Structure 1
């Protein structure tokens, strides 16, 4: 009986299961629901509520919490009795975040988005000279856009650039904005209104500029500190590119950027 129980807990292979999806340890997965509940809640919880959110009775949850407490994954407040994530959980999270490369996380998502919307998708980061294209995912159909890796985008005359101008700290953009502003047919009030719209929509839009006949949307991607990590731009011919703020391309781009931000630890 003991051997059978051990094999079940450890996820040992059974006849006919070879080649199926990898099996795990069920008890770890069950206990992990408690950790997931704490992450979703974002605040310490009493045992009753925590167990309910994890889908188990309190009597079943308690032994898991004791073990997690010994590992430092969970801490219990001695005054309120509430359970929260422990120091070791924080260390694990920070180690994972420090090991993340934003571009490596974003690239496969950009490729999937390009396939889904059938438009080219570019990734830009803030470089020494401003917003710089570091990756371009081309869709399966021919989309002729005169852009290549290494291109530095105008800060005020492109959706990519205005995204960085809207979300980066002013100390990083003031000089470049001042240099470009003199060449723009914009007032300061109009420029600030555009930035406010970009922050509200979580998108910047360019219709036929800086590349004639090409429309573009750019969405910001944030890291775990809430700082702008990169920008992701969908672009294509105006004849096949829906420019509506709530159109299919805009919605899917927002969703893609939010998914990348979540992978980088952005919350809220």
Structure 2
């Protein structure tokens, strides 16, 4: 059987050449002089200028009247926002989570914030037997699980404070929640924000460890948590271990595709 060879698609080289100027502005993230912009794009200033005039007419770039520096224009912003609006965080994460599960052999699941708290919506099973009842729809404890701690650390406090305080008795083993309990949990959330990861080791389920990482959107809001879970002996919970490194990279890559570019600073603290 003979197969027709796929014909190479026709391109317009000048558009690809001029596009290097847009990419240079994007990488720089600020205003640039013509000479610096041309150098970054790998062309002489005289060649770069006509492209910039055309891009300016379209609104893809704009020039400061005082300094003469160039930056991305209003059309570039509109195109970026249109692209962000069509993104579905869960859909963006699915392939990455499957790849992470295949690479590590560990159970990986995605959680979103639901009406009752962090809720599992996608689950990739571990290669190792784990006697834990987690399925789609499972709601995770805010205080007692790595997934819950991620949401506790990065969700706006005013939205979750009551639910969080109601959940703290689990952390206290069913005892009354004291000021000291709240302060200890509050400090753990500061550590979560600093590391960008939450961890539980053999708790609340003996012999089972978990690490969880946040996924942010272009506004710096947490939209997902990705959690890796496995049994002691085959799951490395070290902060700088292979599992933690792979999980951070997975969540970071998804966040980047959702337009996240800077660390979200959450300074809210629990009140006793």
What is the TM-score of this pair, normalised by structure 1? Answer: 0.89
Q: 2:232 aligns with which of 233, 238, 246?
A: 238
Alpha-carbon deviation of 1:54? 1.4
- Indicate if the aligned counterparts of 2:24 and 2:40 stay in contact, CA closer than 8 A: yes
Q: Which residue of 1 aligns with 2:213?
A: 219
Q: How many residues align?
A: 251
- Indicate if the aligned counterparts of 2:106 and 2:128 stay in contact, CA closer than 8 A: no
Q: Secondary structure at the match of 1:210?
A: coil
Q: Which residue of 1 aligns with 2:81?
A: 94
- Indicate if the aligned counterparts of 1:68 and 1:74 stay in contact, CA closer than 8 A: yes
Note the residue ranges of structure 1 that are not aligned, 5 or more in a row: 1-16
Q: Secondary structure at the match of 1:132?
A: strand
Larger mean Cα displacement after TM superposition, 18-27 or 192-201: 18-27
- Indicate if the aligned counterparts of 1:207 and 1:214 stay in contact, CA closer than 8 A: yes
Alpha-carbon deviation of 1:138? 2.5
Alpha-carbon deviation of 1:51? 1.2
Q: Which residue of 1 aligns with 2:244?
A: 250
Q: Which residue of 2 aligns with 1:164?
A: 151
Q: Secondary structure at the match of 1:231?
A: strand
Note the residue ranges of structure 2 that are not aligned, 5 or more in a row: 173-179, 263-272
Write out aligned runs for 1:1-268 (5 A): 18-19=5-6, 22=9, 24-139=11-126, 141-144=127-130, 145-185=132-172, 187-268=181-262
Cα distance in 1 for partners of 2:170, 2:140 equals: 15
Q: Which residue of 1 aligns with 2:265?
A: none
- Indicate if the aligned counterparts of 1:120 and 1:143 stay in contact, CA closer than 8 A: no
- Indicate if the aligned counterparts of 1:119 and 1:143 stay in contact, CA closer than 8 A: no
Alpha-carbon deviation of 1:183? 3.4
**Cα–Cα, structure 1 residues 184 and 142, in superposed 2: closer, same or farther, change >3 Å?**
closer
Alpha-carbon deviation of 1:142? 3.5
- Indicate if the aligned counterparts of 2:105 and 2:128 stay in contact, CA closer than 8 A: no
1:239-264 residue CA offsets vs partner (Å, 9 max, x unmatched): 11111100000011001111000000
Segments of 4+ in structure 1 off by > 6 A? Answer: none
Alpha-carbon deviation of 1:25? 2.8
Cα distance in 1 for partners of 2:129, 2:183 equals: 35
Cα distance in 1 for partners of 2:135, 2:204 equals: 14
Higher relative contact order (CA 8 A, sep 6+): 2
Cα distance in 1 for partners of 2:226, 2:8 equals: 34
**RMSD of aligned residue pairs (Cα, Å):** 1.7
